[in-house]
Structure 1
Amino acid sequence: MFEIHSLLDLIFWVLAIGAFAMSIWAFVHALRTPARSFAVTGKQSKKLWTIILGFATLFAFAAAVRYLPTLGIFTIASVIASGIYLADVRPAVREIGKGGGSSGPYGPW
């Protein structure tokens, strides 16, 4: 017999795996970004973001392996923290590394 409860569990588990992937992406980007980029853009420090995203990755992993509830407060907080980083901080710190200005005869002047 088809059970709707098991289907919802599967959907929430897939969402937890997506949250884990998103938090890994944000955490790795924060680790690879120079600390100077955070200071120049006026965002929080690299140390603070790596701590926040490290905990977000830990909580999302715990939800993905079903140690924590897949739709719990810690999973939601990890999605929010990763989303803020990816939507606000990542675009700002990426602009610092591009250099801009005159890059050559075929680039922008």
Structure 2
Amino acid sequence: MTGAINLALSFAGAALGIFAMVDAFSRRPDAFAAADKQTKGTWTGITGACGVVLCMSIVFGLFAPQTIFWLAALTGSLVYLLDVRPRLREVQSGGRW
């Protein structure tokens, strides 16, 4: 049972990390400055490193979901997705109104 939960968390984390990495890579560099966030290179690097660590939990089994590295990588991806991405979308779409 525990193995199945770890595997499900590993797959969910890897999918989240890959999505964050691809999204950061696909955004315009000027949107990061307009959103008053770190540069595109910084966020691409952060989400890329997080995506690699999260994917390594599936491929090599190195970072299981209960390790500190996996949790740090998940946190980095979630910060991008929950804080940076909504602001970038708002800037690129022209705002709310």
Normalised TM-score (structure 2): 0.91
Alignment partner of 1:34 is 2:28: yes
Change over 3 Å in CA distance of 1:96–1:15 after alignment to 2: same
Question: Which residues of 2 match residues 48-87 of structure 1 at below 5 A?
Answer: 48-70=42-64, 71-87=66-82
Q: Bigger shift: 63-72 or 84-93?
A: 63-72
Larger Rg computed on CA atoms: 1
Aligned to 2:88: 93
Change in Cα spacing, 1:51 to 1:100, as seen in structure 2 (3 Å) is closer
Partner deviation per Cα, 1:36-92 (whole Å, 9 max, x = no partner): 010011111110111111110110111122431312121111110010000000000
CA RMSD, Structure 1 to Structure 2 (Å): 1.5
Percent of paired sites with the same residue: 33
The one-letter code sitting in structure 2 at the alignment partner of 1:98 is S
TM-score by length of 1: 0.81
Distance 1:66 1:8, change over 3 A: farther
The 2-side partners of 1:100 and 1:57 are apart by 29
- Offset, 1:100: 4.9
